[in-house]
Structure 1
Amino acid sequence: MRYLLRRLQRLAIVLVTVTFATFLLVNVLPGDVAYQMTGIISSEEEVQGIREDLGLDRPLLVRYADWAAGIAVGDWGQSFLSKEDVWDQLTDRFPVSLELMLMAQFMALLLAVPMGMISAYRPGSRADRIIGAVAFGSVSMPSFMTAILLIYFFALGLGWFPATGYEPISNGLGANLSRMFLPALSLALVEWTVLMRTLRVEMIGVLQENYIALARAKGMSDARILWAHALRPSSFSMITILGLQVARLMGGAIIIEQIFGIPGVGRLLIHAVNTRDFIVIQGCVTFFAIAFVMANFLVDVAYAWLDPRVRQGRSHG
């Protein structure tokens, strides 16, 4: 319990730091939202009135404290431009972004686990070298370039998948998955390589342990040894990487949602930046920060569950 409480304290510090840094950066950007709301030909008195109504004339720390207090009680504010509640916009779009990131992570694991096991089983073999070369090429290409190539070949060229757009699950699972496959694959083809390399390194060490040699002496098949005895102790570092990849996935999803026209939180953030909608920008970044903090906390819980020695060792450290 002490281990988890310490992790929560550290993650809370991260959350406060990220939100304050975002609040500060947003408020030092050039331009004035009051002019956007009143128009270019508006008088200085009208602009000043808008600033007072929105509280933009108050000190920065006071505004941040009021905004953070509102977040704590569930009041995320309203968009300056559309007057919609930020929380309602986020909750409407979050399931779309969550589906994209979960699909991408699942695809990445689907590639990384078998490829990592094959590479670790015979390091230096032809299969290991081929997988390493493919992984190097995959990680060298950013997700937006991968997305463009996937659209060109599989959407425009072969016509197997739609190029853009989104279909909710309520309109049919098949239609939904066909729209989300290419966006998720664009993210997965970048993320799987880190997982694969991490699993490969860990499993090479595990396969040299005495209990693996004993399992082989008993006549166990290679597949059973890899899946039943070597995979779990080799997964600790990979699970940690999964938590760190949440931030990368969220960053990649912002661009991918824009390319494929997916109405997620990332696309909402891009629109808010373009229109200088400060409250929506802060809400989106806070939402992403909370998601990152929660994902890392769940990784810590899973890590401690898989290896109780980690929990006991850290709780007394």
Structure 2
Amino acid sequence: MNYLIKRFQRLLIVLGVVTLITFLLVNVLPGDVAYEIAGMDSSEEEVQEIREELGLNRPVLIRYVEWVTGIFTGDWGTSYISDEDVWEAITDRFPVSFELMILAQILALLLAIPAGMISAFRPNGRGDRIIGTIAFASVSMPSFMTAILLIYFFSLHLGWLPATGYEPLSEGLWQNLRPMILPALSLALVEWTILMRTLRVEMIAVLQENYIALARAKGMSNLRILLVHALRPSSFSMITLLGLQVARLLGGTIIIEQIFGIPGVGRLLIHAVYTRDFIVIQGCVTFFALAFVTANFLVDIAYAWLDPRVRTRGAHG
């Protein structure tokens, strides 16, 4: 219990720091939302009236305290441009972004786990060298470049998958998944290499343990040894990386959603930046921060469940 309390306290501190920094940075960005609302040809009196109405002429710290108080009471504010409730705008689009992240993480794991096991079984062998070369080439390209190549090959050249668009799950499972495969793969082809290399290093060490030698002496198959006896103790560091990858995936979805025309939170944030809708920018960044720290909190719990030694160190640390 002490371990969870300490992790939860860190979550609150990180969230508080992120919201403060975000609010301050947004308020020093060039441009004036009052001009965006009133129009660039409006008089100074009209602009000042809008600033007064929105409270933009008050001190920054006072506006920050009011905004944070609203966050905790469920009031995330209203868009200056579209007059849409920020919380509703984010929650309406988050399922789309969440689906993209989950699919990307599943594809990354489906690539990383078998590749890591093959590489660890015979380090520096032919399979290990081939997988290492593919991983190096994969991680060398950013997700947006991978997305462009996938669109060219699978959409324009082969015509198998759509290049843009999104279909809700209500239209059918395949109709929903079909336009999400390329965006998810664009993210997964960058993320899987880190997971694979981490699993490989951990599993090479685990395979040297005495209980692995005992399992081999009992005549167990190599596949059973890898899956049953070596995979779980080799996965601790990889599970931690899954939590850290949430931030990378959140950042990646912002670009990928724009490329593929996916109506998620990332695309909402890009539109808010273009229109200088500061309250939506603050809400999106805060939501991303909340998702990141929550994911890492859940990873800490999973890590402690898998390895009881972590709970003991956390309770006394």
How far is the alpha carbon of 1:31 from its aligned partner? Answer: 1.2
Percent of paired sites with the same residue: 77
Question: What is the rounded CA distance, in whole Å, between the counterparts of 2:4 and 2:40 in structure 1?
Answer: 53
Aligned to 1:80: 80
Does 1:184 find its partner at 2:190?
no
Question: What is the rounded CA distance, in whole Å, between the counterparts of 1:275 and 1:108 in structure 2?
Answer: 34
Q: Deviations over 1:230-265 (max 9, x none)?
A: 000000000000000000000000000000000000
Equivalences for residues 89-168 of structure 1 within 5 A: 89-168=89-168
Question: What is the rounded CA distance, in whole Å, between the counterparts of 2:188 and 2:239 in structure 1?
Answer: 16
Equivalences for residues 216-295 of structure 1 within 5 A: 216-295=216-295
Question: What is the rounded CA distance, in whole Å, between the counterparts of 2:35 and 2:309 in structure 1?
Answer: 59
How far is the alpha carbon of 1:46 from its aligned partner? Answer: 1.1
Q: Which runs of 5+ in 1 are unaligned?
A: none
Equivalences for residues 18-37 of structure 1 within 5 A: 18-37=18-37
Q: Which runs of 5+ in 2 are unaligned?
A: none
Amino acid at match of 2:160: W
How far is the alpha carbon of 1:29 from its aligned partner? Answer: 0.8
Question: What is the rounded CA distance, in whole Å, between the counterparts of 2:305 and 2:117 in structure 1?
Answer: 23
Amino acid at match of 1:87: W
Question: What is the rounded CA distance, in whole Å, between the counterparts of 1:292 and 1:57 in structure 2?
Answer: 32
* TM-score, normalised via structure 1 length: 0.99
Does 1:67 find its partner at 2:67?
yes
Question: What is the rounded CA distance, in whole Å, between the counterparts of 1:119 and 1:39 in structure 2?
Answer: 60
Aligned to 2:303: 303
Q: Deviations over 1:79-111 (max 9, x none)?
A: 001101001111110000000000000000000
Amino acid at match of 2:158: L
Q: Deviations over 1:46-83 (max 9, x none)?
A: 11111111110111110000000000010000000110
Pairs aligned (count) = 317
Question: What is the rounded CA distance, in whole Å, between the counterparts of 1:201 and 1:296 in structure 2?
Answer: 22
RMSD: 0.5
* TM-score, normalised via structure 2 length: 0.99
Q: Deviations over 1:188-244 (max 9, x none)?
A: 000000000000000000000000000000000000000000000000000000000
Amino acid at match of 2:272: A
